Chains A and B, each alone.
Chain A
Amino acid sequence: MTSNIVLSEVEYNVVGKRHIRPDGVDKVTGRAQYGADVQLTGLLQGRVLRSPHAHARVISIDTSAAEAHPGVFAVVTAADLPFASLTRDDLGGDYQRLKFASNHVMASDKVLFKGHPVAAVAAESQHVAEEAINLIKVDYEVIPPSMTVRQAMEPDASLLHDDLFTSELGQLSDKPSNVASHMAFEAGDIDEGIKQADVVLEREFETASVHQGYIEPHNSTAFWNTDGQLNIWTSTQGPFVVRTNVADILRHPVSRVKVTPMEIGGGFGGKITAYLEPIAALLSKKSARPVKLLMSRTEVFEASGPAPGTWMKVKLGATSEGKITAADIFLAFEAGAYPGSPVMQGAACALACYDVPNARINGYDVVVNKPKTAAYRAPGSPQAAFAVESVIDEICEQLGVDPVEFRLRNASREGVRRVEGPVFRRIGLVECLEAARNHDHYKMPLNGPNQGRGIAAGFWFNRGFQSAVNISVNPDGTVNLIEGSVDIGGSRASIAQQAAETLGIAYEDVKPTVVDTDSIGYTMVTGGSRTTFATGWAAIEAAEDVKMQMVERAAKIWDTPVEDVEYADGALSHKSDPELRMTFRELARQLLGTGGGITGASNVDPTGEGNGFGVHLVDVEVDPDTGKVTILRYTAVQDAGKAIHPSYVEGQMQGGVVQGIGWALNEEYFFNDQGQMMNSSFLDYRMPTALDLPMIDTVIVEVANPGHPYGVRGVGEVPIVPPLPAIGCAISHAIGNRINRLPANPGAVLEAMG
């Protein structure tokens, strides 16, 4: 039985090979420095006091006892944030945005979720800081919380913000509401599409809030020097985003904020927002000492972004030949305490796998008394896919059409226009469906009672955005590559591989280093499935710049016009004089004596990202007595465009699948009726362990992205999209009833069995 298949069309020298990652030895020996490992002279430890209530007015805060506690060096509250002394007149149109950003970091007038920061302390140790926060007295006036979109959308719902007005298709409404915005996409004629259908199904779905679950808690260390220079060491996917956030919230010049990204212990979209950094900075400013803040696991659950819980309705029409004629979709996503759920992305992803002539998607972004949601791998797409793919599966059942065949009949391909407007360039969904159909998993029948098979497709746009890379040539022919992309899962390797391939030198001759925000040009987050694509692109451009300068130098040394010199396969040669030839290494040795060193530099913002698709197959077995679901076999197929490092592509696929399995089967924020999370530990918020899983088989399909020199498509997001519907459908087939609510934990499955 094959387990990891790569269907390659094009072979390269370095790209596509499974090299050892440059940071590997440090990470298997415990030497790598993560955010919590930072040590500085005079370092203080901080703790944050957080609201015990999901919704309350802050009447007063008395910090005097904490300040007097021995070993305490600083105490801060929202009164120390610049926003406290700014008015609507000072800020104009920026007022609400800054208010939300500042209050999210530390609540001023109201707390909006359990875990919302209200004060913080810096002390000589964690334990002393902990003692001190317990001495802070906060008077609250508790307000009933709005915990779900359904509750929050009621006309008489308890309001989180009295100055939040619905943006109704772009127009501001005049009554405050928990609905931050209503957006819509429409294509074709929905009524006509429904008329053409032979079968029309309408179903309603719900999914719970889930957490990204990175194993490393948030952390931040800050030192605010007396000259105003603010240095921050933190675990983040986006050091430049943190720099912007911190400068914005603290009203400090960007050039005076330096963010050093430490090694990062997972993020999945959840480590982009600045949570602790501004607080650590303020504590440092007050104490004139460096301050480290660490979140506990409970704080991570209660105060850093979950992915939104959702309420969704899908109406789908198809002909008896299995052609989709119409789709009408309603999506309501929890934003958490402040606006900004990924409902727009969910809406744009919902139908992206199919050519749907008539479609309407309405999306609602709704604030609720939960932590502000954050991105989580393909934000919005897994929930939307759960709803749409489940209805498609039911239509296939009703029509008696093979689910892969049905999807092939409707699959998006080059030239198809998406409901929100863009037209697909070359994409690989059809190839993924065919690879799934050809896989022995698909051909192998199930072999027992209470088993079911599910299949589902998934989509993510993939992203471009800005990246910068510098490459300097060393006298021995090796190069140093400087990048701004935090390495969260092997990207030092995949970026170095692209540079080596472009320069025609060995992988081992490229030494990549991730640096702070002072030391490289603007680089967007490691996220959105953009790093290997966009920072890879920057590496290629920087390498091309090196090549050009090497050609110029060779021309100078040979005293010949630049046009006569050629760079190929890591060597320079004279086009007409075969005697004149130098390898990269030979020329590198001469650089310092012939005009100085060479550094290639690039700042890019590539727009040719290739959209990503995956198709997953899963077999499950349901215990008829307990409702417990066991994953028997799992196969993930995905178009990677070109897998620069196949092992890390497989790793992204397998990791995404397993997060999806957790989302589908177990994971959920469980609240009591006061809106307090009841399962904020790894024991109770049960993520999959090694024992819960089989091997996760993979098939990498390579349909080159025409928008990248090596054909790269991002890969990190797609794999979390299909598991929700695939598993839901597999359970549905095993028990003979539909699963329309996640997680499908044993209780829910028993209930669905009736």
Chain B
Amino acid sequence: MPGLVHVSTTINGNPTDFLCEPRQSLLEVLRDVLGMTGTKEGCNDGNCGACTVMFDGRIVTSCLVLGVEAQGKEISTIEGVASPEGLHPVQQAFLENAALQCGICTPGFIVAAKALLDREPDADEGRIRHWLAGNLCRCTGYDKIVRAVLDAEDKMKA
């Protein structure tokens, strides 16, 4: 294929190299080049949050980042949230609070919620709603998602 670019990056703590076209988004690279399909596509234009990943410690919609921009960066995705010891408290709280129905928005919400709690472990309901306003969920009405994040705060302190 003409014009493939070699990119060296770190994904979920692992040094990773890939080849991509300059026009491919990070979302495409994750899903189609690297086979990491946990990150979802809902709109491909930055408005649903299903493709949320961490990019050098910042939360981004990966459909609006180019794959080549990953050069030398630290990316983390939903696949890196759980550890060999088990689920992250945010994941556990989503399960226990029935905070997912179809689950397509869930990876994006979990990455975004974890990012919030990592920096604001005491975020209140209003703050959580504000932070998660970039993630659309059409199934739950957000009630149980907000409760799950509040519950995760308790779990993380315990």
Contact = CB atoms under 8 A, between A and B. Distances in A.
Interface of A: 18, 20-21, 23-25, 27-34, 36-37, 39, 126-127, 212-217, 263-268, 294, 296-297, 488-490, 645, 647-648, 650-652, 654-659, 681-683, 687-691, 693, 695-696
A683 B79 contact: no
Interface in B78-107: 78-79, 81-82, 87, 91, 94-98, 100-107
Interface string B38-49: 111111110110
A294 B91 CA distance: 28
A659 B130 CA distance: 19
A214 B43 CA distance: 11
A36 B125 CA distance: 33
A472 to B, nearest CB: 27
B129 A651 contact: no
A740 to B, nearest CB: 26
B34 to A, nearest CB: 12
B141 A696 contact: yes
Given A28-B87, A216-B42, A654 B78 contact: no
A126 B28 CA distance: 10
Nearest to A213: B138
B102 A266 contact: yes
Contact of A30 (B37, B41, B95, B125): B37
B110 interface: yes
B117 to A, nearest CB: 15
A33 B41 contact: no
B13 interface: no
A656 B140 CA distance: 8
Given A21-B95, A126-B28, A659-B141, 19 more contacts: A23-B103, A28-B87, A29-B38, A29-B91, A36-B31, A37-B31, A37-B37, A215-B104, A215-B136, A216-B102, A265-B42, A266-B104, A296-B44, A297-B45, A650-B98, A655-B138, A659-B138, A681-B43, A690-B146
A214 B138 contact: yes
A421 to B, nearest CB: 34
Contacts of A682: 42-43, 45, 47-48, 136
Contacts of B70: none
Contacts of B78: 29-30
9 contacts: A216-B102, A263-B104, A265-B40, A266-B102, A489-B101, A647-B98, A654-B143, A681-B47, A691-B129
B141 A655 contact: yes
B5 interface: no
B153 to A, nearest CB: 16
Contacts of B134: 689
B9 interface: no
A632 B117 CA distance: 26
B95 A36 contact: no
A645 B96 CA distance: 12
Interface in B10-64: 21, 23-24, 28, 31, 35-45, 47-48, 50
A297 B43 contact: yes
Given A657-B141, A696-B143, A265 B37 contact: no
Given A30-B39, A37-B37, A297-B45, A651 B101 contact: yes
A20 B95 contact: yes
Given A30-B38, A30-B79, A683-B47, A651 B95 contact: no
Interface residues of B, number: 60
B140 A27 contact: no
A50 B118 CA distance: 45
Contacts of A688: 141-142
B133 interface: yes
Q: Top 7 closest A-B pairs, CB basis? A: A30-B38, A265-B104, A658-B141, A489-B101, A27-B103, A654-B141, A647-B98
B37 A33 contact: yes
A39 B41 CA distance: 16
A645 B101 CA distance: 12
A112 to B, nearest CB: 26
A31 B137 CA distance: 19
Interface of B: 21, 23-24, 28, 31, 35-45, 47-48, 50, 77-79, 81-82, 87, 91, 94-98, 100-107, 110, 125, 128-130, 132-147
A126 B41 CA distance: 14
A490 B145 CA distance: 15
A214 B102 contact: yes
Nearest to A214: B138
B51 to A, nearest CB: 11
B138 A687 contact: yes
Contacts of B142: 654, 658, 688-690, 693
A296 B43 CA distance: 7
A28 B91 contact: yes
A215 B109 CA distance: 13
A27 B106 contact: yes
Nearest to A264: B102
A265 B103 contact: yes
Contacts of A490: 98, 101
A34 B40 contact: yes
A39 B107 CA distance: 20
Contact of A31 (B38, B42, B110): B38
A265 B102 contact: yes
A31 B39 CA distance: 10
Contacts of B43: 297, 681-682
Contact of A690 (B48, B95, B128): B128
A489 B102 contact: yes
B145 A690 contact: yes
Contacts of B103: 23, 27-28, 32, 263, 265
B41 A29 contact: no
Contacts of A681: 43, 45, 47
A657 B144 CA distance: 13
Contacts of B141: 651, 654-659, 688, 693, 696
Contacts of B140: 651, 654-655, 658
Contacts of A656: 141
A193 to B, nearest CB: 39
Contact of A25 (B45, B48, B87): B87
A242 to B, nearest CB: 18
A24 B100 contact: yes
Contacts of A294: 41
Nearest to B81: A29
B102 A689 contact: no
Nearest to B126: A691
B12 to A, nearest CB: 11
